[in-house]
Amino acid sequence: MRKLRVNVFGSGLAFFGLISCVSAPLSFAADEPASAAQPAFEAAAVEQFEMASRYPVPDGYGDGFKPNFDFPQNFDAEPYPWLDADPKTDPRAYMSAVLAYILEGNVEVDWDVGNNAVRQWYHAPWLHFGERGREPIHGLTMEKTAEPQELHQLQTKEAFNWAVNFFNAPGGSMLGEVWNDRTRPNTENVNFPEGTLSAKMLFTSATPAEVPYVEGSKIWMAQINRKNTDPVEMRLLQLDFGIKDKRADSTTGWVFGTFLYQSDEPGETVYDRLIPVGLHWGNDPDRTEADFDQNKPLQEGWVNPRVAALVRNLPRKWLGLYGRMNGPVDNFNSSCLACHARAMDIGEMTDREPPFGADGSDIQAMKHYYKNRKSDEPFFEGFRSLDYSLVLSAGIEHYRAWVRHLYPDHIDHIYTDDVINPEDGHGPHLKRPELALGDIHEEYLSIFRRQ
Ligand code: HEC
């Protein structure tokens, strides 16, 4: 990590030249010294914070994405409808209550969620940043690409998946606490309040010819090929959610679940044709491949048998490792909660990279990965947990990369090397490759957002 910083700042001019090519709004002339070109740190940080997208809205697409960062300081607890159903014994009822709540008032405004007349929803900041950052029309960010056959046997081409996420008021209040100072986030004691719901709509570039079950789904145009390219049709494929629910306190404190669009499902609207994929509140830490082979049900989750059957004959075989709960578009060496338990603030410790999945080949790594963690238990000991929120992690990581590269005097050193010694081995991790100067844009590919 040290070496990286020395590399970067040792050759300031070449570095700034590079940055200005990869990241349009950071418009520094290549040969100008940083100090002369930089606006005041605070103003620049606020400008970045408020940015909807780094790309202009193409003609004919109205005002484009409008993020809502107007986080509430307080919120009134609602009679959350999912509390009427027990997620562990009646996952379908729980999920249908969740779906109705997510749709309420949002469908009417085509998911301009800050203008929902029933209740306000909020977006996570700093997701405009980096190679996977928000496109300008709907604020979608780039998610995991689905390899041929990952979604369907007929799929011959890669499918590009992009998503947008939003939080209800309890979740929004936590984002507001972290970002109370928009120039310097506070990531101490992040713990989302009971009743937090965050939802994520995931769209795919796959067409019905490749993935027949997306026929008739909701279409959004999105500029996924970036500046000055024609927006393309994207179809709603998956709707994810995470809920802070104290009935899950003995495992993780969260209930994660997802829906999948299915064209042959009866139902008047697109949303009626979303079927539950499954739900889980823990990782089934001890689950084995034999359990999967013998069709043993999950202890800490439920997977819809119809969806399990859909993927059983694909190369992936299961949604999550050994049949754990996960999404059809997610890394199959993983599970919803295990991947999300990696959410933490890595500060300047940029070479500590939590692995994206664990395929079972390394028993210790697998145990560490599928452990049920509480809100305050970080994936790497000594780090600050961000309580399962990967959008929060990605945003914080982007902010820190931006400060590190452009305003090194403003770096907030939240950890010391004594507390977190990368050589000390706090759990399994990958080391980031040492970045050569020419690869510096890699820094902008957040470790929380890659595949
Ligand atoms: C292998 C990693 C991985 C897996 C598995 C995964 N996610 Fe995520 N998830 C992410 C990342 C990364 C983001 C941040 C997206 C971005 O940067 O745009 C995210 C974002 C989200 C969000 C937005 C809110 C937040 O606080 O991060 C929700 C909700 C969500 N995922 C739900 C799910 C559900 C439900 C599942 C399982 C069906 C799941 N995820 C499986 C990596 C994963």
Inform me whether the pLDDT recorded for 4 exceeds 50: no
Q: What is the reported pLDDT for 402? A: 86
The answer to whether residues 158 and 147 touch, using CB atoms and an 8 Å cutoff, is yes
Distance between Cα 390 and ligand 1 center (Å) = 6
Of the candidate ranges 62-71, 213-222, 224-233, 432-441, the one whose mean pLDDT is the lowest: 432-441
- Choose the residue to mutate in 141, 333, 339 for probing ligand 1, maximizing ligand atoms within 8 Å of C-beta: 339
CA–CA gap between residue 203 and residue 180 (Å, rounded): 31
| pLDDT class of 425 with cuts at 50, 70, 90 | low
Give me 231's structure tokens. Answer: 């927006």
Burial of 269 (0-12, 13-18, 19+ CB in 10 A): exposed
| pLDDT class of 20 with cuts at 50, 70, 90 | very low
* Pick from 381, 327, 322, 375: nearest CA to 354: 381
- Give the binding-site residues of ligand 1, using a 6 Å CB cut-off: 127, 141, 165, 198-200, 240-242, 256-258, 326-327, 330-331, 334, 336, 339-340, 356-357, 389-392, 394, 448-449
Distance between Cα 241 and ligand 1 center (Å) = 9
- Beta-carbon contacts of residue 235 (< 8 Å; ≥ 6 apart): 203, 204, 206, 207, 214, 217, 218, 219, 261
CA–CA gap between residue 233 and residue 140 (Å, rounded): 13
- Choose the residue to mutate in 95, 280, 298, 336 for probing ligand 1, maximizing ligand atoms within 8 Å of C-beta: 336
| Maximum separation of any 2 CA atoms in the chain, in Å | 66
CA–CA gap between residue 153 and residue 315 (Å, rounded): 9
CA–CA gap between residue 136 and residue 141 (Å, rounded): 10
Please tell me which of 8-12, 33-37, 164-168 the model is most confident about, judged by mean pLDDT: 164-168
The number of beta carbons lying within 10 Å of the beta carbon of residue 228 is 9
Residue minimizing CA distance to atom 36 of ligand 1? 336
- Beta-carbon contacts of residue 433 (< 8 Å; ≥ 6 apart): none
Inform me whether the pLDDT recorded for 100 exceeds 50: yes
Give the CA distances from residue 369 to residues 260, 341, 409, in Å, rounded to whole numbers and listed in that order.
Answer: 26, 9, 36
Distance between Cα 12 and ligand 1 center (Å) = 36
**Token pair 């990782």: residue:** 283
Q: What torsion do the CA atoms of 93, 333, 398, 196 make, to the nearest 10 degrees?
A: 20
